A and B are shown apart, each in its own frame.
Chain A
């Protein structure tokens, strides 16, 4: 994850980060008025922006997504849970380009071959679930909102925007940005990616951690399954401590995986 800190040394990446954040917030804020479940989440077509920006600007899109979401949160109420929203969105904007680099190896994301579409779907789905894990895990640990409500809504919201809207934007924008030499590979050419073995291990850890956290978070927050190691006193609604014990190892695995990628 060295690129996340290295990008701040590059003025053009700082500007691209601000532009990603502003674009995200500009689409996010008007839709704050159209909540799906008020106080939980709203219709978010803006969630296509971090995915598009990730393929274009790499690490700048990660920070841009986190900042853009923070700006949006100010208009729907900020709170302690927004710290997790910040990191969830950071990874939502950061992870797609990392996964794409490993599974597509320099291939253009706008190619319409079935293999490219499948790789794109895997990339967006993992990023969407990781973001949902972060927010659901954090908010349920703080006993603000249940993982099973928030986590699943975020997956649907993110994945819908990433599948329905993002490909069309990417199809139009990606070739132009590449031609203008504004892709992250052009702007930050000094960053060397880790070895293929480390990247593959990182991706496997990310997939296991992300999907594990999502499954366990859903089961524990609804009370369908509580791991036997959790004391009975903690296995009570709102399951805040149970979620902390059961989901945290998966989250750590996912973050460690991203670190290796």
Chain B
């Protein structure tokens, strides 16, 4: 699985201000949270599909298609076991198959799938440096934002070195597939240790390089990249506020709830 989902494209969503993108993420969480009924969640799903089309994020959605299907399926099943409410349609021992449990479970599955879709659209349209700007505008301390950005940057490097070590060990005849599940997990130790030690060797040099460049001398350092606020950002923010308000009203008026009869 690739660590970067970003898709290079000049679309409306790509050009939005990073703060607006982070705000959009929050509004989607907010809106999805308030409603339970699958029909109430459907417009958000359609909106996300439109956003995915605009962002050219289909390759990422296609790559994760089975995850979407499984998320909906297994969440529906899990809640049919635990959400034992409403008149039973078919009496099974563990699964409480009622109209209410079916709607509630499917609604939860749809919710989780929409949250996954939100993160895929976000990652397809947002670079790491934009994410950092978004975090800093939310008053996340600079050093914490820096650690997050550095971790995002280092993770693919560590994955690459793990693959190199894996291939080197395989060439020497080391069998990673021998034994039961626990033994197989344990056989990855000779891969993890060189990656770990390689990472630690970098740590000292990295800390010295950072301090030599004056890291942490000022709490809000300036940046080469500037993100001016454009009219489209204002329009998008108003639209997002409206979506959040509409979904809260759907909850408040009771239209987003699951009927128990």
Binding site for B on A (CB under 8 A): 8-9, 11-12, 14-19, 21-23, 25-27, 29-30, 32-33, 35, 37-40, 45, 48, 52, 63-64, 67-68, 70-71, 73-80, 142-146, 148-149, 160-161, 164-165, 168-169, 172-173, 176-177, 180, 182, 221-223, 236-238
- Chain A residue contacts of B84, Cβ below 8 A: 223, 237
Partner of A173, one of B104, B197, B211: B197
Partner of B189, one of A26, A33, A74, A172: A172
Does any Cβ of A come within 8 Å of B177's Cβ? no
B189 touches A37 (CB 8 A): no
- Chain B residue contacts of A79, Cβ below 8 A: 29, 32, 111-112, 115
B82 touches A23 (CB 8 A): no
Q: How far is the CB of A39 from the nearest CB of chain B, in Å?
A: 3
With both beta carbons as reference points, the residue of chain B lying nearest to A36 in the complex is identified as B74
A173 and B3 contact, Cβ closer than 8 Å, known pairs A12-B204, A18-B147: no
Does any Cβ of A come within 8 Å of B158's Cβ? yes
Q: How far is the CB of A97 from the nearest CB of chain B, in Å?
A: 17
Residue in A23, A142, A145, A222 whose Cβ sees the most chain B Cβ within 10 Å: A23
Of B13-21, B39-47, B65-73, B224-232, the segment with at least 4 beta carbons within 8 Å of chain A is B65-73
- Chain A residue contacts of B138, Cβ below 8 A: none
A35 touches B116 (CB 8 A): no
Partner of B123, one of A32, A74, A165: A74
B143 touches A14 (CB 8 A): yes
With both beta carbons as reference points, the residue of chain B lying nearest to A79 in the complex is identified as B115
- Chain A residue contacts of B108, Cβ below 8 A: 143-145
A39 touches B203 (CB 8 A): no
24 contacts between A and B (CB under 8 A): A15-B203, A15-B210, A18-B146, A21-B148, A23-B199, A25-B152, A35-B70, A39-B112, A52-B196, A64-B151, A71-B155, A73-B119, A77-B119, A80-B33, A146-B82, A149-B82, A160-B182, A164-B186, A165-B189, A168-B186, A169-B192, A182-B200, A238-B79, A238-B83
- Chain A residue contacts of B156, Cβ below 8 A: 26
A238 and B82 contact, Cβ closer than 8 Å, known pairs A11-B210, A21-B148, A169-B196: yes
B200 touches A180 (CB 8 A): yes
Does any Cβ of A come within 8 Å of B207's Cβ? yes
Which residues 191-205 of B sit at the A interface, judged by CB distance below 8 A? 192-193, 195-197, 199-200, 202-204
A14 touches B199 (CB 8 A): no
Give CA–CA (A81, B188) in the complex, Å. 31
Give CA–CA (A74, B47) in the complex, Å. 20
B109 touches A39 (CB 8 A): yes
